[in-house]
Amino acid sequence: MNIQLATVCDFAADYNGKLCIQGAFDTLCAQAFPVVHPQCSIAVRAVFLPDDAGKHEFVIRCVDPDGKECLPPMPAALEVTFPSSFIPFVSRNIVYTLQRLKFDRHGLHRWLVQHQGDTLASIPLRVTLFDERRSTTGPAG
């Protein structure tokens, strides 16, 4: 198994096996804390080889700058089958849409994609105060 992509974005959807992503980002600028982000998605695409056939349980966790969980864990179960021996790999998508996501303070938050206790991907999200002096350089400043 290989994690091909893991991102936080404005919108994501699994469309008949295609992973559709809009607005991938890594920084959230706030005027004050706590801040509530109206909506975003977590998108993960995993590729499996024939030896990976079977059920796979994932957990996606959000941790704050201290490494403490700041949201309830999000479980995902994927069933991986190979209908033909001629298929060299299959891909599966995990999409979570989150609404009214609250961050109590600034710092580097991380989304951890875990499988059987191992962290397969870590998606950074920098939550920071908005700085007027950097407003022309975009959100990543």
- How does pLDDT run across 13-72, given as a tens digit for each residue? 999 999 999 999 999 999 999 999 999 999 999 999 999 999 999 999 999 999 999 999
Class of domain 2-130: mainly beta
User: Structural domain boundaries of the chain?
Assistant: 2-130
In order of 36, 76, 125, 141, the CA distances from 132 in angstroms are 20, 40, 20, 10
Burial of residue 24 (number of CB atoms within 10 Å: 0-12, 13-18, 19+)? middle
E-assigned strands of 16-106? 18-24, 27-30, 35-48, 54-63, 74-80, 90-103
Q: Strand pairing partners for 6?
A: 44
- How does pLDDT run across 106-117, given as a tens digit for each residue? 999 999 999 999
